[in-house]
Structure 1
Amino acid sequence: MPWKETTIMEQKMEFICEWRTQKYSITELCKAFEISRPTAYKLIHRYETFGIEGLIDKTTPPKKHPNQTKDYIVKRILDLKRKHKLWGAKKIKKLLFNDCPEKDIPSVVTVHNILRNHGFVKPQKRVRRVKPIYPIFDPKECNEVWSADYKGKFKMGNKIYCHPLTIADSKSRFLFVAKGHYHENLKSAKATFTKVFRTYAIPKQIHTDNGSPFGSVAAIQRFTRLSYWFIELGIEPVFSDPAHPEQNGRHERMHLDLKAACAKPASANLRTQQRRLNAFVKEYNHVRPHEALDMETPASVHDFSTRPFPERIPDFDYDLKMKVLKVTQNGAMRWGAYHWVYLTASLKGKYVGVMEMGNGIWRVFYRNVFLGYFDEKNIRNKETSIRLSQNIV
């Protein structure tokens, strides 16, 4: 019984079944199936080592391809790359025409693959995609959205960098503060925001970019510890899309004026630099006419917010349909007795609300702000902790 082309696997399994009965010798089985003894022993060895999967034929790719790039071309490509380390495949291919026959020169893709296979091309880091969060780009009233950002650092006369934090109303262009800091961190930013909130109350939204300490593209909804503080105050943190500063163009345009007035040249130290920043804020708000305001000044247009700054963070009561869980010191919440769902270390010690959507899918909220989803079936399958997702998988 020779192998049949369409039932080779069936024949192999039948051979193994007959061999396992121990009723027939190898010689008898080889004669019945019309195969050689080496083939029989090979099948038995594969079955004993890998089980049924060992009977599946594995295709062996050819060692050489008829259109394979010739060795001397490969060597020339690598030599050129070592000489011109910053050049890519297109430029290296162009140089091959100087001393190689045109018929032997490979395509740009092949040159790139040769460089990659020999470790000359480093894979680019994948940027985690985040769900877009859109701010109010064209506010109708004052205090609907404030813009905040660190204007690019500049070196003062004492060789120390100044990092000016600016906060402005997007409707009236009123500049609340331009505060010089030594570092762009949570402590400095929070202190300045607190002072501004106490003086001018709080807005509906605060629009920032994705830089520290405002946002992080690697975090849930781009939220940071500063973002969660805004949420606790009743402010919605919103962000420009990554690499799109033009979405906060009004604020960036103000930074050009601030740089020209305060950083060219810079002052000797932070104290004298802050005096110049304060003078700029006063002139920008009360003296300088603004074209977008029909040549009025920001101070003449701006209205104060009616939402006072709460000195104490108010408690929040989650919906009775939600499970309320505490985020532990490792940034995860316990699910059941043995499983964990990782959220973020920025929420450690705080409580989140979890609501079931059905079919094992749960939504997670911090106060009234949606964070993401998780599937409890994935936890049971992996038997480990999982991360919160912004998409239903």
Structure 2
Amino acid sequence: MLVRLLDAAGAEVHAEHRLTGRILEPARVARAAVVEIRAVLRPDADGPWDVAVAGWGRLTLEAGGRVLVDEEVERDTDDPATVHLSPPYRRARLEMAAGRDVELVFRRRLAPGTGVASILAADPPRRGEEVELAAAVELARSCDVAVVVVGTTGAVESEGVDRESLDLPGRQDELVRAVAAANPATVVVVNSGGPVTLPWREEVPALLLSWFPGQEAGHGLADVLFGRAEPGGRLPTTWGGRALATTVPEDGVLAYAEGLDIGYRAWLREAEAPAYWFGHGLGYTSWSYEGLSVPGEAAPGTPLRVRVRVRNTGGRAGREVVQVYLSRTDTAVARPTRWLAGYALADAAPGESVEVALDLPARAFQHWSAGDGAWRTEPGVFAVLAGRSAADLPLRATTRLGG
């Protein structure tokens, strides 16, 4: 992309090349009055292409000298993220012939209050879902390994709205199942910012959660898939496979009736297990939990140091996230079945045994007293559990807090 800044008379005051048409921060030049993004589009397919521009203020788009967009887009929001990152698009349809170049020229007037974002984009003709699905299956069948990337988008997952469903949008579940049936060596990469249902999770041999990665996502994903780096993350949320609660208000009221039992705590009281527990995650080696050391007595209001010994039982170096939970059944106050109290990282070579020390904070043993308006500690016996996730806790010990 050739990005130029023009003054009020149309003279060039700055020019540079960019590798994308999404120009969120053009160079700042005092005399700049117009930003221009110019590119040559060489289509690889015949048919109707969608070309689009985005920004606030006066926008024009020309294709081969023909004006496709000429509009004043008035700003209708004060949200800085929308103003500077997600301006509205204006689209036009353009018939294209494969291999025949067309020059696109987008200009936006840099008026006060219109932000700095300017975007030029093009989208090729769509072949239709059935054709695309069949092509993906045929391609997977001819490959040694198939990598399928699925996920959510800003249209269904946002900070500003509740999701109506935990399902992947569109026909992505169908795509995964079709590709996995065509090629048993299928890796599925889930690109989402929160839990989604994965009804095919038992039908694929490898599942990698990438969340919403940044600009080095491609390199990072390649390093993990080729074994150069270990996928060392652990789930900070429980992936249920289904929703336990509704986000639809009844009579204008959305009741939060779960009390203390949110996330994995709610699933601990269910008759069924979730798809993946809080804290779950696999790497390229295996681990055994060999020992848990806990003081028999503890003083309220002070941290409790516990030690956990784990061994790398696999064939390569790795990292384990050791998790410690607390539980108490003999209690006069409402408590979850168990709750996370601390975690630590353990790095070990193949066959190596390591011990990690965790200081469980005093707050982990406390409960909130609504009557006192303060955190309180109930004397008595607490169970201390250690393991790999909220449900995989092979080590257990107890400690007594004095009054």
| Structure in which a larger fraction of residues adopt helix | 1
TM-score range, shorter chain: under 0.3
Larger Rg belongs to: 1
TM-score calculated relative to the size of structure 1: 0.20
More strand by share: 2
